């Protein structure tokens, strides 16, 4: 039994939930999102909460049960509060700045990197060494953060590069004489 899947997803006031067939639509103050639930899972909206149940006890249905419930919960949180990821840049001369609708990154390469910001995502650089990514779709926010981090991931010797805020970088010892 899925411990996550058993719990119904409460829909707070200010959020409108609509379930038609396998499609779940949420509309809130931040925007509108939808998710198509896999066919192995039954979804229903009753008593101000969205409930998710597996169609049968097959391994596939049970594994999609908890995942589908988590995705529906992310829709509710996204349209009501939104999601945020913070990145930190460490290294001499490494910096980030907004250049119109693109993020300009100087990460020690011979050229600057221009990252086009996808629709539905907002990027802010409060300091040249900090990047804040916000949006209503959790998957998109995480994907954008991962793509920016991928340009220059943190290295284990000095910790230079782009890392998530609060991420622990395992440090290695340098060469011995």
**Tens of pLDDT, residues 16-63:** 988 898 899 999 999 999 999 999 999 998 888 999 999 998 899 989
What was the pLDDT predicted at 121? 94
- Give the mean model confidence (pLDDT) for residues 164-171: 93
Q: Is the predicted pLDDT of residue 4 greater than 90, yes or no? A: no
Measured CA to CA in angstroms, residue 76 lies from 43, 60, 63 at distances of: 15, 25, 21
- Give the mean model confidence (pLDDT) for residues 3-7: 82
Global confidence as pTM: 0.88
What was the pLDDT predicted at 174? 87
CB 112 within 8 Å of CB 106: yes
- 170 domain residue, yes or no: no
According to DSSP, the β-strands at 83-90 and 130-135 are: antiparallel
- 74 domain residue, yes or no: yes
Q: Is the predicted pLDDT of residue 2 greater than 80, yes or no? A: no
Which range of residues forms the domain containing residue 64?
3-80
What was the pLDDT predicted at 176? 85
Measured CA to CA in angstroms, residue 7 lies from 22, 52, 70, 105, 143 at distances of: 19, 8, 10, 43, 27
74 lies in the same domain as 102: no
Angle at 156 between CA 151 and CA 162, to 5 degrees: 30
Closest CA to 92 of 173, 161, 171, 5: 161
Mapping DSSP onto H, E and C, the string for 58-127 reads CHHHHHHHHHHHHHHHHHHHHHHCCEEEEEEEECCCCEEEEECCEEEEECCCCCCEEEECCCCEEEECCC
**Tens of pLDDT, residues 114-130:** 999 999 999 999 999 99
What was the pLDDT predicted at 1? 62
Asked which of 80, 110, 140 is the last residue of a domain, the reply is: 80
CB 66 within 8 Å of CB 5: yes
- 112 domain residue, yes or no: yes
88 lies in the same domain as 75: no
CATH assignment of the domain containing 99 = 3.90.930.12
- C-alpha R_g of the chain: 21
**Tens of pLDDT, residues 126-153:** 999 999 999 999 999 999 999 999 999 9
Q: Would you say the C-alpha torsion 21, 63, 12, 133 has a positive or negative sign?
A: negative
Query: d(Cα 27, Cα 16) in Å, to the nearest integer?
Result: 5
Question: How many structural domains comprise the chain?
Answer: 2
**Tens of pLDDT, residues 59-111:** 999 899 989 999 999 999 999 999 999 999 999 999 999 998 999 999 999 99
């Amino acid at each position: 039994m899925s411990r996550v899947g058993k719990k119904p997803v409460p829909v707070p006031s200010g959020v409108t939930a609509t379930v038609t067939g396998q499609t779940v639509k949420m509309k809130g103050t931040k925007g509108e999102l939808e998710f198509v639930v896999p066919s192995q899972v039954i979804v229903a909206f009753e008593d101000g909460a969205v409930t998710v149940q597996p169609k049968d006890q097959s391994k596939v249905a049970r594994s999609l049960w908890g995942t589908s419930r988590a995705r529906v919960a992310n829709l509710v949180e996204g349209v009501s509060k939104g999601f945020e990821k913070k990145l930190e840049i460490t290294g001499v001369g490494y910096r980030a700045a907004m250049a119109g609708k693109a993020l300009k990154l100087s990460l020690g390469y011979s050229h600057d990197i221009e990252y086009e910001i996808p629709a539905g995502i907002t990027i802010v650089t409060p300091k040249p060494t900090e990047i804040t990514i916000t949006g209503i779709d959790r998957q998109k926010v995480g994907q954008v953060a991962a793509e920016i981090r991928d340009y220059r991931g943190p290295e284990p010797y000095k910790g230079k590069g782009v890392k998530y805020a609060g991420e622990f970088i395992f440090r290695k010892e340098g060469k011995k004489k």
